[in-house]
């Protein structure tokens, strides 16, 4: 009991939730339109990212930027299909970090905090694949990936820790820069005036009611700074998750910032998705079975190879059309034979 938390961190479980997170992370990484490389203006300052040590000729290179885009797509596709798992997770993570750094930090006078969490979680999940690559590749080869205990719970807990710290740091940086008077109401009104959606009722209310603006700011400060308590218990995590999601919905609707990436990750890790996933896996294993009958032999082969990699709840069976016909005709002849025998017995 004393070391219950340690057991929970060190434990292993089936990888449905972990793999789902990998798919979501790769989707979030690939779906973002990075556009082109910004034309660098203004004096160079820094260092600001982990790739700041690279020379300007690389950081400002369009060729490197488009190569990273290509590597991100290639690495992401390989990771999702569990091909080359020693390399593909890191290829995805590193090329994503490089793209974000080049597009939003190194060459730009304006930064965006919408990509940090995706980058951090990509690293954590790439770490999972690196430390468990033997077990993962063996279970994939055996076609039993989703039923083997190859997902270490430290991946889940470290992800929660990083998301919580990320938000607490945001709250603390506000207090460090402006003190508790940050929540004065007027500053939120200013940002709403400057960046907010025009002619939208909640914004009109914020602009005309300072007490409302101040209340929202106090709540923001409390939720962000206090997010770290989510690491202590699952109920605290759910509460913080709901509060953070409400905050993100407000920010996205009001300002239109691209914080939906963070909101999705908070929803996955702070709401009871792991538990829901376990429940779904259990129910599906007991009650659900899907048989896919495929005629072309090549497609059958391909689906047979893909099934253990994408069949999250192990409910699908792939059977070849000819094989099914063969089985059916065999059953039919057995039935006929047995009915003939019974008729013969009755006659005799």
Q: How would you class 306 by CB atoms within 10 Å of its CB: exposed for 0-12, middle for 13-18, buried for 19 or more? A: middle
CA pair distance 79, 85, nearest whole angstrom: 6
Site string for another protein, 69-108 (x = CB under 8 A): ------------------------------------xxxx
Q: Residue 176 CB, nearest distance to another protein (Å)?
A: 8
Q: Residue 62 CB, nearest distance to another protein (Å)?
A: 16
Binding segment toward another protein, per CB under 8 A, in 1-9, 38-46, 75-83, 129-137 = 38-46
Q: Residue 1 CB, nearest distance to another protein (Å)?
A: 42
CA pair distance 133, 282, nearest whole angstrom: 25
| DSSP string for 55-102 | -HHHHT-HHHHHHHHHHHHHHHHHHHTT-STTTHHHHHHHHHHHHHII
CB of 188 or CB of 318, closer to another protein: 188
CB of 174 or CB of 237, closer to another protein: 174
Which residues have CB under 8 Å from 139's CB, separation 6+?
145, 148, 150
Binding segment toward another protein, per CB under 8 A, in 8-16, 36-44, 262-270, 293-301 = 36-44
Q: Are 58 and 64 in contact (CB under 8 A)?
A: yes
256 binds another protein (CB under 8 A): no
Q: Residue 89 CB, nearest distance to another protein (Å)?
A: 27
Handedness of CA 179, 183, 189, 193 (dihedral sign): positive
DSSP category for residue 114: S
CB of 23 or CB of 255, closer to another protein: 255
Q: Residue 174 CB, nearest distance to another protein (Å)?
A: 5
Return the ∠ at Cα 198 (arms to 194 and 201), rounded to 5°.
Answer: 120
CB of 15 or CB of 171, closer to another protein: 171
Q: Residue 64 CB, nearest distance to another protein (Å)?
A: 15
187 binds another protein (CB under 8 A): yes
Q: How many residues does the chain have?
A: 348
Q: Residue 158 CB, nearest distance to another protein (Å)?
A: 24
Which residues have CB under 8 Å from 123's CB, separation 6+?
93
Q: Which two tokens stand for residue 114?
A: 């919408």
Site string for another protein, 144-183 (x = CB under 8 A): --------------------------x--xx-xxx--xx-
Q: Which residues bind another protein (CB under 8 A)?
A: 40-46, 48-49, 52, 59, 105-111, 113, 170, 173-174, 176-178, 181-182, 184, 186-187, 189-195, 207-211
């Amino acid at each position: 009991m004393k070391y219950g938390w340690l057991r929970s961190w060190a434990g292993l479980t089936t990888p449905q939730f972990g793999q789902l997170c990998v798919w979501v992370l790769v989707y979030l990484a690939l779906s973002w339109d990075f556009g082109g490389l910004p034309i660098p203006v203004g004096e160079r300052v820094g260092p600001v990212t982990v790739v700041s040590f690279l020379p300007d000729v690389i950081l400002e290179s369009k060729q490197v930027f488009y190569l990273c885009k290509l590597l991100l797509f290639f690495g992401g596709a390989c990771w999702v299909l569990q091909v080359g798992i020693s390399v593909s997770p890191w290829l995805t993570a590193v090329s994503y970090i490089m793209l974000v750094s080049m597009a939003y930090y190194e060459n730009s006078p304006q930064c965006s905090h919408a990509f940090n969490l995706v980058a951090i979680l990509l690293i954590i999940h790439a770490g999972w694949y690196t430390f468990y690559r033997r077990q993962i590749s063996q279970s994939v080869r055996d076609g039993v990936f989703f039923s083997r205990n190859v997902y270490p719970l430290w991946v889940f807990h470290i992800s929660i820790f990083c998301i919580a710290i990320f938000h607490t740091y945001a709250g603390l940086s506000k207090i460090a820069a402006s003190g508790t008077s940050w929540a004065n109401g007027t500053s939120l009104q200013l940002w709403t005036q400057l960046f907010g959606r025009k002619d939208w009722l909640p914004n009109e209310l914020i602009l005309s009611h300072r007490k409302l603006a101040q209340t929202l700011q106090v709540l923001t400060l409390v939720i962000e700074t206090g997010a770290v308590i989510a690491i202590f218990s699952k109920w605290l995590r759910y509460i913080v998750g709901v509060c953070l999601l409400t905050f993100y919905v407000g920010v996205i609707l009001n300002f239109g910032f691209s914080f939906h990436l963070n909101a999705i990750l908070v929803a996955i890790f702070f709401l009871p998705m792991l538990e829901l996933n376990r429940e779904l896996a259990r129910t599906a294993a007991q009650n659900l079975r899907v048989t896919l009958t495929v005629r072309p032999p090549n497609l059958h082969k391909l689906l047979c190879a893909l099934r253990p990699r994408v069949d999250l709840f192990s409910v699908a069976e792939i059977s070849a059309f000819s094989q099914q016909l063969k089985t059916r005709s065999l059953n039919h002849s057995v039935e006929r034979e047995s009915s003939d025998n019974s008729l013969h017995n009755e006659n005799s």
